[in-house]
């Protein structure tokens, strides 16, 4: 007999398909999830089926995990999902208490939820405007370490209802529970560069977000940065929670405020030693000034036959200043990401790696941080940091590669390519058959080195590479002269 239950979880509607459950089991599921029943009876974002063939406690514990994973998967790429407990003040401001499993989130949620609105003990989801989407799932409580966790509804556990106000992120706090902590909790400011490893590890599907590092930086800037609370007992957090909520109760105008565009600033005196910190992203994981890494508008002129040091592709990057650092996210072919924080001389080298020689990289580091004592000392420091960057896959030594400018309007009529004037004024340029082949291969394969492009064009045209090479560089030079292609 068909039977379903729709659950509201971090903004997704997850439908439990319990047709194979007994009437008694359906009653248990309904009772456990009654605080999270969805008002929207129309849409369904995901469907889960309870585990059969186990006792009721195991079925309910497993169902909690299935609903959570289905909701997280449904909202990937849409919201920032922190593995955190969420508590709401009466005005709707939400404090996210971040920590891995076993750090005390559920205990803190159960204790604080009796004084503040219970948002979640599992996942806090934040959209672009800073709105928090609740997930009032059953609390997973350990009654017997050898048995599945017991599922208690927030109401049965004495949790308060959500306030009659929009939920808005007001604080991101790292939980640090210590048996030797003072009786009164200690609140610390945490630099974003230092907190990034914890935040990345506790974020679901970070690479799926658009400009994820800038998104996180913007949210954190709006709530006054990251805080850490060192405490002994969760009950001691009740009095300090309101003071942690530093963000506004009402979202600012626009989608996301807080990440200023602009050049990096605040570099320290004296050249620092190179440093590279690596943090892996979990897919289904003093206050710094923040700034988006500026585009390469001043990229140097490159010769196609002169190798140099170039950045490798990145998904996102954000500048952290005072001291000068850059956080970089790279994503592999499988969609897994790695976040690294560049420090020491590495930020200057990464910014300058646009076809630069070693001498040019040394000059960039000296210009940014000053001379460490002698030119030889500078070369040694830069050489060591450059080796780390190359080994980490953030910089590579290669020939320049040709690419089409992303803003170029063009159409492919089937027999030839026509380049359109960017502003709508002027004349369109129709490429001849050989130029059309080159353009198509450059579009499909770029950025690409000239010798590899010659091989690709020769294969399509049915001629030898030797036949292509005499005319290819001049044609690419013409494209560069009119601003539709460039070396990178």
> What percent of the chain is modeled with pLDDT above 90?
70
Domain map of the chain by residue range?
A: 1-74, 78-259, 275-398, 402-487
What does the pLDDT read at residue 302? 85
- DSSP states along 195-225: HHHHHHHTEETGGGSSSHHHHHHHHHHHTTS
Distances in whole angstroms, Cα of residue 293 to Cα of each of 28, 148, 316, 317, 354: 52, 47, 9, 6, 14
Distance CA 382, CA 366 (A): 10
Is the Cβ–Cβ distance between 31 and 21 less than 8 Å? no
Assign domain 402-487 to a CATH class. mainly alpha
Phi and psi dihedrals of 150, rounded to 5? -80, 135
Mutual angle of helices 472-481 and 433-445, in 10-degree steps: 80
CA distance 191 to 287: 5
Q: Residue 376's pLDDT is what?
A: 74
Cα angle 64, 70, 76; round to 5: 135
Q: Contact, 356 vs 363, CB < 8 A?
A: no
State residue 151's pLDDT score.
Answer: 87
- For position 280, what pLDDT does the model report? 40
Residue tagged 């988006």 (tokens)? 292
Handedness of CA 380, 385, 390, 392 (dihedral sign): positive
Q: How many Cα atoms sit within 13 Å of 250 on the Cβ side? A: 2
Residue 296 pLDDT: 52
H helices present in 141-186, as ranges: none
Residue 266 falls in which region: left (phi positive, over 0), alpha (psi -120 to 50) or beta: left
Residue 56 contacts residue 25 (beta carbons within 8 Å) = yes
Length, in residues, of the chain: 488
For 111-147, the pLDDT digits (tens) are 999 999 999 999 999 999 999 999 999 988 777 777 7
**Above 70 in pLDDT, residue 487?**
yes
Q: What are phi and psi of 53, to 5 degrees?
A: 80, 15
Residue 36 has a pLDDT of 96
Measured CA to CA, the distance from residue 73 to residue 234 in angstroms comes to: 31
The pair of three-digit structure tokens given for residue 334, joined into one six-digit string? 């499988």
Q: What is the pLDDT of residues 295-342, one digit of tens each?
A: 554 556 788 889 999 999 999 999 988 888 999 999 888 888 889 999
- Rg of the chain over all Cα atoms, to the nearest angstrom: 28
Alpha carbon 36 to its chain centroid, in Å, reads 28
Degrees, nearest 5: CA angle 111-117-120: 75
Residue linked to tokens 């008002």: 39
Mean of the per-residue pLDDT values of the chain = 87
Number of alpha carbons in the 13 Å side-chain half-sphere of residue 272: 19
Quote the pLDDT of residue 422. Answer: 72
> What pLDDT is stored for residue 1 in this prediction?
74
Residue of higher predicted confidence among 287 and 74: 74
For residue 452, what pLDDT is reported? 94
Same CATH topology for 78-259 and 402-487: the answer is: no
Q: 38-51 pLDDT, tens per residue?
A: 987 778 999 999 99
What is the rounded distance in angstroms from the CA atom of residue 234 to the CA atom of residue 257? 32
User: In whole angstroms, what separates CA 462 from the centre of its chain?
Assistant: 45
Tens of pLDDT, residue by residue over 426-460, are 688 899 999 999 999 999 998 999 999 999 999 99
3-state secondary structure 29-44: HHHHCHHHECCCCCCC
pLDDT for 295 equals 52
Running DSSP on this structure, what letter comes out for residue 235?
G
448 DSSP assignment: B
Determine the pLDDT at residue 264.
Answer: 28
| Fold of domain 78-259 | Rossmann fold (3.40.50)
| C-alpha to C-alpha distance for 483 and 407, rounded to whole angstroms | 10
Query: Does the pLDDT of residue 268 top 50, yes or no?
Result: no
φ/ψ of 133, rounded to 5, equals: -100, 120
CATH architecture of 275-398: Alpha-Beta Complex (3.90)
Residue 204 · residue 282 · CB < 8 Å: yes
Mean pLDDT of 57-75: 96
């Amino acid at each position: 007999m068909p039977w379903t239950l729709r659950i509201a979880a971090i903004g997704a509607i997850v439908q439990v398909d319990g047709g194979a459950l007994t009437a008694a089991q359906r009653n248990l599921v309904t009772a456990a999830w009654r605080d999270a029943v969805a008002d929207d009876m129309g849409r369904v974002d995901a469907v889960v089926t309870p585990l059969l063939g186990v006792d009721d406690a195991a079925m309910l514990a497993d169902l909690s995990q299935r609903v959570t994973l289905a909701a997280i998967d449904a909202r990937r790429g849409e919201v920032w999902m922190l593995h955190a407990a969420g508590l709401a003040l009466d005005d709707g401001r939400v404090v996210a208490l971040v920590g891995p499993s076993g750090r005390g989130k559920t205990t803190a949620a159960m204790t604080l939820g009796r004084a503040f609105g219970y948002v979640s003990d599992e996942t806090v989801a934040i959209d672009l405007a800073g709105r928090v989407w609740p997930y009032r799932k059953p609390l997973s409580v350990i009654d017997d370490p050898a048995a599945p966790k017991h599922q208690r509804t927030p109401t049965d556990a004495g949790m308060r209802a959500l306030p009659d106000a929009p939920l808005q992120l007001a604080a991101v706090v790292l939980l640090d529970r210590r048996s030797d902590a003072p009786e009164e909790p200690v609140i610390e400011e945490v630099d974003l560069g230092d907190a990034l490893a914890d935040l990345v590890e506790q974020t679901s599907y970070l690479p799926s977000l658009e400009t994820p590092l800038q998104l996180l930086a913007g949210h954190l800037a709006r709530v006054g940065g990251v805080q850490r609370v060192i405490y002994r007992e969760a009950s001691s957090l009740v009095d300090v929670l309101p003071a942690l909520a530093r963000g506004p109760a009402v979202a600012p105008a626009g989608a996301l405020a807080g990440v200023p565009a602009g050049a990096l600033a605040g570099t320290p005196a004296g050249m620092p030693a190179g440093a590279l910190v690596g943090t892996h992203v979990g897919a289904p994981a003093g206050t710094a000034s923040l700034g988006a890494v500026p585009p390469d508008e001043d990229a140097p002129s490159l010769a196609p036959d002169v190798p140099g040091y170039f950045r490798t592709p990145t998904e996102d990057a954000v500048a952290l200043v005072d001291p000068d650092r850059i956080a970089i996210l790279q994503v592999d072919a499988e969609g897994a990401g790695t976040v690294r924080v560049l420090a020491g001389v590495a930020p200057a080298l990464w910014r300058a790696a646009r076809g630069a020689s070693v001498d040019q990289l040394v000059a960039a580091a000296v210009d940014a941080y000053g001379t460490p004592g002698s030119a030889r000392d500078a070369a040694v420091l830069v050489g060591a940091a450059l080796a780390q960057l190359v080994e980490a896959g953030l910089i590579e030594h290669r020939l320049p590669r040709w690419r089409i400018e992303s803003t170029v309007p063009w159409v492919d009529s089937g027999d030839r390519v026509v380049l359109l004037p960017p502003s709508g004024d002027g004349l369109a340029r129709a490429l001849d058959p050989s130029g059309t082949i080159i353009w198509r291969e450059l579009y499909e394969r770029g950025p690409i080195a000239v010798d590899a492009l010659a091989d690709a064009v020769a294969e399509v045209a049915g001629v030898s590479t030797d036949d292509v090479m005499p005319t290819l560089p001049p044609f690419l030079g013409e494209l560069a002269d009119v601003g539709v292609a460039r070396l990178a």
